[in-house]
Amino acid sequence: MAQNKAMASKKWVRAAVISVVASVTMAGCSTVNPYTGESQTAKGTGGSIIGALAGAAIGVASSSKHDRGKGALIGAAAGAALGGGIGYYMDVQEAKLRQQLASSGISVTRDGNNIILNMPNEITFGFDQANLNDRAMNALHNVALVAKEYPKTQLNVLGFTDSKGAASYNLRLSQVRADAVGNYLIRQGVNANRVISQGRGEANPIASNSTENGRAQNRRVEIILSPLG
């Protein structure tokens, strides 16, 4: 009798973990680096699976005989979230951002627990302009949708320019552009306390300023999503 109960419990745990692990994988446990094209393991996968195992077992033990399946599934899901911690939280957010921005021209990269959205100037602002175009607003609307779903992240909006022109002018222009992006996110419903906008001017080039192609890459706005607290 006791052996049958133990076998049934293992069955529920196994089924719940398989279900939750599959969901975690689909949500972004394997991501693709947009620059290298290589698949990479998401940061919270291991902890999520361990948490799912423990949570499913607890769910079975604390449920009635008729609710063991449901208890195992709920416990596994909760355990996966806790086990993955911040890494899991950022993994799922990253996966949703990749889905929402797939055809926007905005790249999504991961640096530890930070998610970096790179918005090239060609899809955001006209030459020497600081008014967002329609393409940028559509993309930022999708960023805001995800940001509102995951409120435990801060959005650092950084504006950058190339090195042409006076450094002081470029610094002001980068600040105005960063403000334009940050303010649009706030108008879309993102809490203003979560949005920090800063102009960086000519700092941190990602390509050479000696060519037009390089300068075009340096003219950009980055949104860095990082865990709050």
Residues in the chain with pLDDT < 50? 12-13, 16-17, 20-21, 23-40, 56, 59-60, 68, 72, 76
pLDDT attached to residue 49: 55
Q: What DSSP state is assigned to residue 192?
A: G
In whole angstroms, what is the distance from residue 61 CA to residue 65 CA? 9
Is the distance from CB of 59 to CB of 72 less than 8 angstroms? yes
Nearest to 97 by CA among 135, 48, 148: 148
Looking up tokens 């689909």, which residue turns up?
Answer: 26
Q: Strand, helix or coil at 204?
A: coil
Place of tokens 């745990």: 13
Q: Name the 3-class secondary structure at 205.
A: coil
Residues 122, 54: Cα–Cα separation, whole Å: 49
- Whether residue 43 contacts residue 73, with contact meaning beta carbons closer than 8 Å, is answered with no
Spatial neighbors of 57 by CB under 8 A, at least 6 apart, are 9, 13, 72, 75
| Cα 126 to Cα 131: distance, rounded to the nearest angstrom | 8
* pLDDT recorded at residue 8: 52
The full set of domain ranges for the chain reads 2-100, 107-227
pLDDT score, position 127: 78
- Report residue 90 as tokens: 């950022």
User: What pLDDT sits at residue 128?
Assistant: 81
Task: Please say whether the structural domain 107-227 has been given the CATH code 3.40.50.1000.
Answer: no
The number of residues in the chain equals 229
pLDDT of amino acid 170: 96
* Cα–Cα distance measured from residue 148 to residue 22, given in angstroms and rounded to the nearest whole number: 25
Amino acid symbol at 132: L
Q: Please write the tens of the pLDDT for every residue from 131-183.
A: 999 999 999 999 999 999 999 999 999 999 999 999 999 999 999 999 999 99
How many other CB atoms sit within 10 Å of the CB of residue 149? 10
pTM recorded for the entire structure: 0.67
